[in-house]
Amino acid sequence: MALDDTLWFTENPTADGSTLSLKVTGKLHEEQTNFQKIEVYGTEGFGNLMVIDGYIMLTARDNYLYHEMMAHPVLFTHPNPKRVLIIGGGDCGTLREVLRHPDLERVQQVDIDAGVTRAAEKFFPELCESNNDARAELHFTDGIKWVKDAAPGSYDVIIVDSTDPVGPAIGLFSEPFFRDCHRALGEDGIIVQQSESPLLNMQILTDMHQAMRDAGYADVQTLHFPQPVYPSGWWTCTMAAKHAFKGFRIEDSVCKSFPTRYYSAEVHQGALALPPFMKEAFEKIRD
């Protein structure tokens, strides 16, 4: 990461040598927690920007793309979600989207670093507007251990809103973690996890599909969507279910009682249509 004399923030480069720069107006916050370095900048075109260990986590301008796609597809795919666990998600944007669903009874969010949430409360308050919802519980501890200790069948949906598979998040991409999630999910349970860029990280995606199937999930689906400030601008989330997917609750999605900026039933359906190179890679795993 670098902030040069002309006030451009430049992210750490990816393995293929690409990077992203945003013109900033200044640094608003810097903190080294026990787990990571958190920085917040003001930018000219993208609102406030949160950076963790040199990598862009979110901006005020485009975070809704990611947060809506992490929350709504999986919740409209489960037949009747009531109990949700979010692992990670410390900025609380996914939590806000999840809590838009009025029939949910309990949402537990478990993030290892309270510093992310405190920074979000100050610099991204719009993402934290549902933190005091009576159905929400915020816990700051190890999400991997939380799932391992969870009683069988505790949750209908588990959302893994993690950083890249490095540092504290690396265990969230492993077969043992997916197996613990499988046990913690109820009969119709579904897990969804952010799964990186299909253009730059296809190996991570195929490894996730394999690990999820090896952990006992009957079906795995990847959805893709734009995310301008993440490497390549093209991102995915991957769902795995205890039983074969039978589509999603299209009528409920169309008639939802809350507004969204990106997600819709049509977007949901389109996100499931994979380009040939992704489809072929996943078919090899199923075979």
Question: Mind listing the pLDDT tens digit for each residue in 193-224?
Answer: 999 999 999 999 999 999 999 999 999 999 99
- Residues 118-145: tens digit of each pLDDT: 999 999 999 999 999 999 999 999 999 9
| Residue 202 shares a structural domain with residue 86 | yes
- The helix (H) or strand (E) run that includes residue 286 is helix 276-286
Q: Which of 10, 41, 59 is the last residue of a domain?
A: 59
Pair (165, 276) in one structural domain: yes
pLDDT above 60 (res 5) = no
The stretches of the chain forming alpha helices (DSSP H) are 63-77, 93-98, 114-123, 143-149, 175-184, 202-214, 250-254, 265-271, 276-286
1 pLDDT exceeds 50? no
Co-location of 77 and 40 in the same domain? no
Residues 83 and 143 in one domain: yes
Examine the fold and report which residue of 16, 33, 59 is the final residue of a domain before the chain moves on: 59
Query: 5-9, 103-107, 226-230, 244-248 — which is least confidently predicted?
Result: 5-9
Q: Same domain, yes or no, for 115 and 239? A: yes
Same domain, 81 and 43: no
Look over the chain and give the mean of its residue pLDDT values, rounded to a whole number: 94
The residue from 42, 59, 76 where one domain ends is 59
For residues 157 and 266, state if they share a domain. Answer: yes
pLDDT of residue 162: 85
Q: Which domain holds residue 47?
A: 2-59
The reply to whether 151 and 170 lie within a common domain is: yes
**Claim to verify: residue 171 and residue 235 sit in the same structural domain:** yes
Are 45 and 123 in a shared domain?
no
Active-site residue numbers?
Answer: 161
For residue 208, count other CB atoms closer than 10 A to its CB: 25
Number of domains in the chain: 2
Write the CATH number for 14. Answer: 2.30.140.10
- Read off the pTM: 0.95
DSSP string of 169-222, one letter each residue: GGGGGSHHHHHHHHHHEEEEEEEEEE---TTT-HHHHHHHHHHHHHTT-SEEEE
Please give the average per-residue pLDDT across 77-84, as a whole number: 98
Looking at the structure, do residues 99 and 138 belong to the same domain, yes or no? yes
pLDDT tens per residue, range 161-185? 986 665 555 667 789 999 999 999 9
